[in-house]
Amino acid sequence: MQSISGFSKMPKAKKLEWIAQAVSETPENFIADFKKFWHQDESTQKLFDEFSENTISNYYMPYGLAPNVMINDKRYAVPMVIEESSVVAAASKAAKFWQDKGGFKAKIIATKKIGQVHFLWKGDFNKLYCVFDELKERMLDDTASITKNMRERGGGILDIELVDKRDLEPDYYQLKATFDTCDSMGANFINSCLETFAKSLQNWLMEKDMFVGEEKDATIIMCILSNYTPECLVRAWVECPIEDLGMVEDLDAPTFAFKFSRAIEIAKNDVYRATTHNKGIFNGIDAVVLATGNDFRAVEACGHTYASRSGQYRSLSDCSLEGGKFKFWLDIPIAVGTVGGLTALHPLAKRSLEILGNPNAEELMQIIAVTGLAQNFGAVKSLVTTGIQKGHMKMHLLNILRNFEATEKEVAQAVEHFKTEVVSFTAVRELLEKLRADQIQYKK
């Protein structure tokens, strides 16, 4: 492909034309496919174009609802944006399963966010450490105008620490700050504070007579929030007497509970299983995070780091069968907001929050964690009973049929046929070939 300059300045249609000419043998069809997804309402399209850069179209994702999700005795219909079949169905099924067993419970354990100024400094650490409280005051003063609104809402900067990191790198220190960002995810707020801290540090060193020579100079490497927020933590759980689980598919309650708890134990100890297990949790989590206009990459990155906090990557969820009780829970850090960012801009993110009853950030954290737990319960329940393919393949079959542009009649015939046969891409193709050949034969 040829290099291009000035791409970002080109109008959208020209960008599309350029890529079509560069990669497609049928540029007109290529352009038409992308244009099909341009929003008919110009102002909505402009909004979407402005979320990102160099846009040539919109990429649609299915938006579904998982109804009947009882959390702390309140019923929700949870919006989920996800392209994978079976996920919304599994969450809905799990919600229904727990509905008459007390529903899901959730609680916030902590809501602290973290940011760091990474800097290099050649000087006497003890000297700096002894007067750090003075610098801290200075940093709080210098950020007062940035933090005013947040303080009025009950949040702001909670603490700033000076951390000696010379065991990792020569002359390396951090200003490690904790924040309460109330109902916003807070990335911009935190980063603005950090960049101001860096300037305060540099000015303060220059001004203070006790620092001399190279001590006057701190090299700021970078200022950035950390997406690892182990102290922005929520717990979601379900529990009931083992007997109340009833028959689960063809397993009696104690057998199901036993197999389920073993599956969790395996995911706690085997990295290969843990990764797939946690992927199932994020099927639920990401879908709600996306639907509410939050940053799913941040939530995922954080969750996976948290899963490794013992030094080995492990299951995020846990299960116990003590005292005749089945208890299944998930502790997970989730940094999300219900104000600011895309939550206010994306028309459907706003509607998602409306569907959830306009929760604050803490309530949303609980809803998201519960959806992850529901998803995980649904997946592991299938795995230890019928196997995952039974439910999965039913949905998958419809996707494959869509791929082959099956007619309604063919879909009905295929669904009937695969009630007793194993679904595979090849098996579906062969069946359709046969049905279509029979049809031609019949017409002759």
CB of 404 to ligand MEV, least distance (A): 23
Which of 117, 380 has the CB closer to ligand MEV? Answer: 380
SS3 98: helix
DSSP 340: S
The C-alpha atoms of residue 22 and residue 24 are separated, in whole angstroms, by 6
Residue 233: CB minimum distance to ligand MEV, A: 22
Nearer to ligand MEV, 83 or 354 (CB): 83
Catalytic residue list contains 392: yes
Locate 13 and state its tokens.
């249609």
> Helices (DSSP H) in 112-232: which residue ranges?
125-130, 132-142, 144-152, 187-207
Tell me how far, at minimum, the Cβ of 388 lies from ligand MEV, in Å: 5
Find where tokens 């760091």 sit: 116
84 vs 252 by CB, closer to ligand MEV: 84
Q: For tokens 């085997």, what's the residue? A: 270
Which among 118, 136, 277, 392 is annotated as catalytic? Answer: 392
Closest to ligand MEV by CB, 26 or 276: 276
Annotated active-site residue in 295, 346, 381, 396: 295
Q: Would you give the DSSP letter of residue 248?
A: B
Catalytic residue among 84, 100, 134, 354: 84
Angle at 128 between CA 124 and CA 129, to 5 degrees: 110
Which spans of this chain sit near ligand MEV (rule: CB under 6 A)?
Answer: 84, 276-277, 279-280, 283, 379-380, 383, 388
Write down the least CB distance from residue 153 to ligand MEV, Å: 38
Give the residue with the Cβ less far from ligand MEV, 274 or 361: 274
Of 96, 101, 112, 279, the active-site residue reads 279
Minimum CB–partner distance for residue 160 and ligand MEV (Å): 41
Tell me the residue number closest to ligand MEV, measured at CB.
Answer: 280
> What contacts 62, CB < 8 A, 6 or more positions away?
81, 82, 83
Catalytic residue flag (residue 295) = yes
424 Cβ neighbours under 8 A, 6+ residues apart: none
Please compute, for residue 397, the number of CA atoms within 13 A of its CA located in the half-sphere on the CB side. Answer: 24
φ, ψ of residue 181 to 5 degrees: the values are -105, 20
Q: Is the dihedral of CA 224, 342, 372, 240 positive or negative?
A: positive
Residues marked active site are found at 84, 279, 295, 392
